[in-house]
Amino acid sequence: MRVKDLAADRSAAGLPDLALIVLAEDAAAVAANEQLNRVVARQYLVRVLRAVQRLDGEHRADPALTRVRELLDAMDVDAALRWALRPEVTGWVWRAEARSVDPARLLRVLADCLAYDPGAAPAVVRLGSPDGPAPVVTGAGLAGGSLLLDWVAEGDEWPVRLDAARAGAFAARLQAAADLLAAEWPEGLALAGRDIRAFAALGNHRGLKPLNFSVHGLRGLVLTSERPAYMLAQTLVHEGTHQRFSGVLDCVALVRNPKATHHSPFVGAERPLGHILHGILSFINDAYAAWRHQAVERDPVELDRLERYRQQKVEQLRTAEKNLLEVAEPTPAGERLLAGCRAAISRLSGG
C-alpha cells in the first residue's frame, strides 16, 4: 500500500447518518455500519503511519518497524484498513500516543504485537463477516495473543487462558449464539459480525448473570463468560454495539460538554455522558435481541423472564435518556445519534 493510494481512496470520506447505526432493522443500517467501520479503520491506519513515522527518526533500522513497513507495502488499501482495526494494532496505537512513552519499550511491544497470529487460533467463531471468522484468543504464547490478555488483565477481570480443546468448546457456545442470531435477527448479526474481530473467555463465576465487556483501546476484542445460546446472542449485539460506539467516539464529538456527568440507571452510579450513551446504545440492542427471541421461545418460564427483562431495560433506557438530555449539549452528530436512540426506545416500548 502506498500512502498516495490511501489519500486517493474516497470510500471513507465521511461518517454515515448516525441515527442508522443505533439499531439494525434493514439493509440501510447494515450499509451505514459498513461505512462507519471504514471511516474508523482509516483513522487508525493513519494513526499507525504517524506513530511509525515518529519512531523512524531514530529507530528506522529496528526490525519491528521494518516488518510493519513490509506488511503495509504488501497490502492494498482494503487489506491495510482491515489490519489497522485488529485489536493488537489499536492497542499498540493507544500506547504509542501515550505521553512520556519509552521508544525502546514501544518497539518491543510492537514486535510482540506482530508475533500475534489470529490465523493460528485453534478455534474460531463464524459471524458472517466478509473479513472472515473471529478467532478465540487463547493466550498460549505471543502467537496465541498473550499480550492481548495481559493488556486486558490490567482491568478488573482476568481472562482465561485456554488449551485447544477448551477453546473449541468455548467457540462452539458462541457459534450456537451466532447461528441463533442469524435466524432471529440477521441484521443484528451483520452489525456484530462487522464490529467483533476476536473473542476471549472469562470465568463463569456469575452463572447465568452476564459477564462480558470490551476495552476501548482493543478494538474488536470481546470478552465473555459462557451462557445459554440466546443469552450469548444478546451478548454479541451488546458488545458489538460497544465496539461500534467506541469507533464513533474516536471520530466525532457527540456532546460539547463531555466531562459532564449524571446518574446512570444501568450501574446505579454517577457516570460521564459518554458512559451513559454507551449504556443506552448497548442495552437498546441487548433488549431488542431478547425481544426477537420472545417470538420463537415456547417455554412459559423463559417467556416471562424475557418479558420482565425487556420491561426493565425499557424503563432504564427511558431514565437514562431523560438524565442525559438534562445535562448534555449535543453536537449535530450527537443530535442524529439521539434521534436514532429515541426511535429505538419507542420501538422497544411498543410505540
Instruction: Give pLDDT tens digits along the chain (351 positions).
Output: 777 777 777 777 799 999 999 999 999 999 999 999 999 999 999 999 999 999 998 898 999 999 999 999 999 999 999 999 999 999 999 999 988 889 999 999 999 999 999 999 999 999 999 889 999 999 999 999 999 999 998 777 889 999 999 999 999 999 999 999 999 999 999 999 999 999 999 987 777 888 999 999 999 999 999 999 999 999 999 999 999 999 999 999 999 999 999 999 999 999 999 999 999 999 999 999 999 999 999 999 999 999 999 999 999 999 999 999 999 999 999 999 999 999 999 999 885
Res 117: pLDDT: 96
70: helix, coil or strand?
helix
Q: Distances from the Cα of 252 to the Cαs of 158, 249, 343, in angstroms? A: 32, 6, 21
> What are 224's strand-pairing partners?
201, 212
Q: How far apart are CA 96 and CA 51, in angstroms?
A: 6
Residue of 253, 258, 284 whose CA lies nearest to 271: 258
Q: Residue 256 in 3-state DSSP?
A: coil
Residue ranges with strand state E in the chain: 124-125, 134-135, 159-160, 198-202, 212-214, 221-224, 261-264, 269-272
Backbone angles phi, psi at 134, to 5 degrees: -95, 120
Name the residue ranges covered by the structural domains of the chain: 253-351
Q: Give the pLDDT score at 351.
A: 53
Side-chain half-sphere exposure of 249, counting CA atoms within 13 A: 17
- Which pLDDT value is given to residue 306? 94
Angle at 2 between CA 91 and CA 218, to 5 degrees: 10
Indicate the pTM of the whole model.
0.95
Q: How many CB atoms lie within 10 A of CB 134?
A: 25
- The backbone torsions φ and ψ at residue 95, rounded to the nearest 5 degrees and listed phi first, read -75, -35
d(CA 28, CA 15): 14
Torsion of CA 97, 98, 99, 102, to 10 degrees: -90
Q: What is the DSSP letter of 23?
A: S
Contact yes or no for 90/80 (Cβ under 8 A): no
pLDDT value of position 282: 98
Strand pairing report for 221-224 and 198-202: parallel
List, as one string, the DSSP characters of 181-206.
HHHH-HHHHHHHHHH--EEEEE--TT
- Angle (nearest 5°) at CA 158 between 153 and 163: 105
- How many of the other CB atoms lie within 10 Å of CB of 126? 15
Angle subtended at Cα 19 by Cα 260 and Cα 174, rounded to the nearest 5 degrees: 90
